[in-house]
Structure 1
Amino acid sequence: MSTSGTLPDGSQYQIEVPSEWNQNLLLYSLPIPVAPGDPPWPPEDLLIADLMGQGHAIAGASNTIFWPLESSLSNVAPLVDAFRAAAGAPRRTISMGLSIGGLITAGIAERKTGLLSGALPMCANLAGAVAIHNRELDIAFVIKTLLAPESDLALTDIAEPSANLELAAAILAEAQTTPVGRARLALAAAVGNIPGWHVPGSVEPPPTDIAARLANQIAWFEEPGFLVYFWAREQVERQAGGNPSWNSGVDYRELLETSIGRDEVIAHYDAAGLPLETDLETLEASSRIEADPVAVAYLERHIIFSGDLNGVPVLAMHTDGDGLVTPDNQHAYADVVRAAGNEALLRQVFVHRAGHCSFTPAEVTVALESLIERIDTGEWPDLRPDTLNARARAMGSDRHALRSGGTAEPGFFRYTPRPFPRAYDQRDAARAAVTLESAGR
């Protein structure tokens, strides 16, 4: 059965129920905006076809803006109601999603009590909305301050996003032509913990190949980093009612010291004959950006995390070579879940591969099956990488396709992500509220 319709807020929804339905409903949250009236996913989506082939029913609603958290979270209950009216009550309801869709997935687990059996956020912005937009501002701040301080490049309050992106792209192209420019690009990548690995299915450049690693970091800037930093931010600000990001009080020297790219930055500066300390002092002395409290409050609602999982088991999945939604998001999420006393409900698995959301259908299936086993038994199954890889490998070569093209062997591996540079969750929001109250604001 295939059916579609319109939710109360005007969003288009799609419901797919295979003929041999296994009674699982997958609420599929989408990361990418679509044109008004378009379905939430394209007909050629390989993951949708693979999941339906396993007997899962799928329901999702489209979004038409870059930061869809407000509408997506409010649409969950109407979407489930539409599914029940069309197909009946499922045995299990599992939220899953990629990228911002994974953030929505985790948000459903935290905000929609009693709705879910489990959640599978993949390559998700799990550090939460405030932290990830602050990180993007940090990268953009280094770019402008060191590469184009006199330019009209807008970091916040972006009035003309297309022109702003065009200017940013020109700055990026020019910077690549000189050793000094490349060193400063390496520093910008480092403050964001952007890995030096970009193409799914490629071999990771060794740490000593700093030229190749920087080329990969620049590729992350070209697609899609600068689009997010210098164009899409305007949509976030429009929804939030102002600028939700700040860098007042940020120590960029400290961000570099704790970065995955620290040694590469030092090597690039040495090669360029450029004193790193001078640029760090320039960053320290430069005027900083304050946030609009109303906009911060909006992103706190849409969404930062408290670690309250409402009894819902969550299995999170990430690649280590993700330069758009970096794997340190997982560290921030695990930390707040642990602080809330819910670590028994959370497990995280990692795939050694470049790319954003570059999982194969076999890897997603193994993760989903593991989550279902946890739902049914109350105990987490064996999630050791060798076990997961063996299960994925047994599914056959036709299920090892990458969304970007080509195939990949199962890549689960042991990995410990770095701490998120400027984490911000409900604990930070509570401390900020106390500070404002004490100041009489």
Structure 2
Amino acid sequence: MSPHVRTRILGVAAVAAGALVSAGLVAPAAVAATPGEYSGSLPTGTTWLASVPSDWNGTVLLYSHGYRPSFVPGNPASVAPSDATKALLLEEGYALVGSSYAASGWAVPTAVDDQLQSLDAMLDQTGLDPDHILAYGTSMGGLVTGRIAESAGDVIEGAMPTCGLMEGGVDLNNYQLDGAHAIDQLLAPAQDIDIEGYATLNDAFAASSQLSAAVEAGQQTPEGRARVALAAALFHLSDGVVAADAPTDPAVAQEALFSQLVGTIGFVTPGRFDIESTAGGNATWNVGVDYQKLFAQSADRGLVRELYRQAGLDLRADLAALTATADVVADPGSVETLRASSGLTGDLEMPVLSLHTLDDVLAPVQVEQEYAEDVQSARDQRLLRQYFVDHVGHCNFTPAEIAAGIETLMDRVESGHWRGQSAELMNRLAASLDESGSAFVSTKPGEFLADRERR
């Protein structure tokens, strides 16, 4: 067994594994692994799955899945983001394992322990004695993977968050609050819309309906369309096409922003209820935010300014109004709870390779700028590499891109240093692994807008 996994999972996980054996939920003896599918459950209610290939290469991949709303039935364990990706990784010889987490919803506070305990149970049941264990995950699971990278260096040797919420739970809440604030104040000023602090799920759904209706109504006039674009810009939305096809007509670009905004509101507003429930209250604020300064860093500022010009509106006046009406105050305890349970410090215990698409409505690419800044502040930038693919959609990676990222991370773990891997080389590597295609590009993400201190 590699010295990196000699303690296998943490003291608490060893206790949990003993409880599983006593309960008869896992095989009590470690035997030579048989290729195939494995499963089990933990006393916490977490379930796990594993797949072992016939030609195992000695590495186990621990997969962390994304957010599943508490109000949507079903919370199965997953070992990969798609069946095609699972098949390719098994073909490459990796053993796969992943859990459901203890519950659906905003599961980040328990997810690291859920994952590590599931890994321990899987190793006990399969009898695998890995040379290496890597972690990777998608979306919320990317954030979970980021937390693993900061806490499990005695077990895991490398981590790959993909389309991760690398800004953490607090900043996630804040940038989405900015977009909702713009809708509330500029498109529905006569209404009383609650944009945070939901006592019940029904309250969150009601707010979602009001915000969506305001955007739909605003889309009917030039003035409304300009303000819709401003709200979308604060939501870090973009035109919804690959970079080479970016529209030059402001009207076409605005229509794309409108479509993305409507779809995003319907998902993130009820999702805020899950986060607030986990944090114990509202962990978001905009008191003291200068929206003129904030907007000046937006990737969509040129488009918004042109739409305001065409509509004959005063953009400065609208931004000043947003600043003047920014009165949301966070619950201090909820902020600290969410920051401690769902945040990242950038203090890495292992190499990290992140993957992100350029156009992701739920995990905007700008969060990678925030993450890189955190890692640099912790003086661990030598451990981080970030790669980008020119795709549209949340976590829209091909199996080849995922496999190329894992292969590159594995090379870093084994060699002890990052080799020169340009976008071109990553595309060549992906093509050598699978025919699903790749679109790695060299780019630098823009500024993340909602990095702020609480007042």
> TM-score, length-normalised on structure 2?
0.86
Deviation at 1:345, TM superposition (A): 0.6
Residues 1:9 and 2:44 aligned together? yes
Deviations along 1:289-309, one digit per CA (max 9) or x if unpaired, are 000011101111122222211
Distance between the aligned counterparts of 2:440 and 2:287, measured in 1? 39
Residues 1:242 and 2:246 aligned together? no
Which residue matches 2:139? 99
Which residue matches 1:117? 157
Distance between the aligned counterparts of 2:55 and 2:431, measured in 1? 25
1:298-337 correspondence to structure 2 within 5 Å: 298-310=337-349, 312-337=350-375
Which residue matches 2:114? 75
Deviation at 1:326, TM superposition (A): 0.9
Distance between the aligned counterparts of 1:44 and 1:126, measured in 2? 21
Residues 1:172 and 2:211 aligned together? no
Residues 1:372 and 2:410 aligned together? yes
Which residue matches 2:179? 139
Q: Which moved more, 1:342-351 or 1:158-167?
A: 158-167
1:204 counterpart letter in structure 2: D
Deviations along 1:315-349, one digit per CA (max 9) or x if unpaired, are 01111122221111111111111121111111111
Distance between the aligned counterparts of 1:196 and 1:23, measured in 2? 43
Alignment RMSD (CA, Å)? 2.0
1:324 counterpart letter in structure 2: L
1:238 counterpart letter in structure 2: S
Deviation at 1:76, TM superposition (A): 2.5
Return 5+ residue gaps in structure 2 as ranges: 1-35
2:439 counterpart letter in structure 1: G
2:446 counterpart letter in structure 1: R
Residues 1:422 and 2:450 aligned together? yes
Q: Which moved more, 1:163-172 or 1:268-277?
A: 163-172
Residues 1:108 and 2:148 aligned together? yes
Return 5+ residue gaps in structure 1 as ranges: 401-409, 436-441
| Alpha-carbon spacing, 1:41–1:374, altered in 2? closer, same or farther (3 Å) | closer
1:233-382 correspondence to structure 2 within 5 Å: 233-310=272-349, 312-382=350-420
Deviations along 1:192-227, one digit per CA (max 9) or x if unpaired, are 3322225xx795323x3222222222222233x213
1:154–1:230 CA contact under 8 A, matched in 2:
no
1:169-208 correspondence to structure 2 within 5 Å: 169-198=212-241, 204-206=245-247, 208=248
Deviation at 1:392, TM superposition (A): 1.9
Deviation at 1:124, TM superposition (A): 0.8
Deviation at 1:54, TM superposition (A): 1.6
2:184 counterpart letter in structure 1: K
Deviation at 1:281, TM superposition (A): 2.2
Residues 1:50 and 2:61 aligned together? no
Deviations along 1:121-179, one digit per CA (max 9) or x if unpaired, are 01111112111111011111111111112324221112322232222222222121111
1:205-224 correspondence to structure 2 within 5 Å: 205-206=246-247, 208-223=248-263
> TM-score, length-normalised on structure 1?
0.88
Distance between the aligned counterparts of 1:272 and 1:300, measured in 2? 41
Distance between the aligned counterparts of 1:37 and 1:268, measured in 2? 43
Deviation at 1:43, TM superposition (A): 10
Secondary structure of 2:396 counterpart: coil
| Alpha-carbon spacing, 1:173–1:227, altered in 2? closer, same or farther (3 Å) | same
Residues 1:31 and 2:82 aligned together? no
Tell me which stretches of 4 or more aligned residues in structure 1 moved more than 6 Å.
Answer: 41-44
1:68 counterpart letter in structure 2: A
1:136 counterpart letter in structure 2: Q
Distance between the aligned counterparts of 1:67 and 1:14, measured in 2? 21
Deviations along 1:245-279, one digit per CA (max 9) or x if unpaired, are 00010011111111101111111111111121221
Q: Which moved more, 1:85-94 or 1:149-158?
A: 149-158
Secondary structure of 2:150 counterpart: helix
1:119–1:315 CA contact under 8 A, matched in 2:
yes
1:103 counterpart letter in structure 2: L
1:220–1:324 CA contact under 8 A, matched in 2:
no
2:288–2:323 CA contact under 8 A, matched in 1:
no
Distance between the aligned counterparts of 2:189 and 2:423, measured in 1? 46
Deviation at 1:44, TM superposition (A): 6.3
Distance between the aligned counterparts of 1:43 and 1:230, measured in 2? 24
**Aligned positions, number:** 412
Deviations along 1:66-113, one digit per CA (max 9) or x if unpaired, are 311012122122112111112222211111011111111011111224
Deviations along 1:347-380, one digit per CA (max 9) or x if unpaired, are 1111122222111111111111011000000011
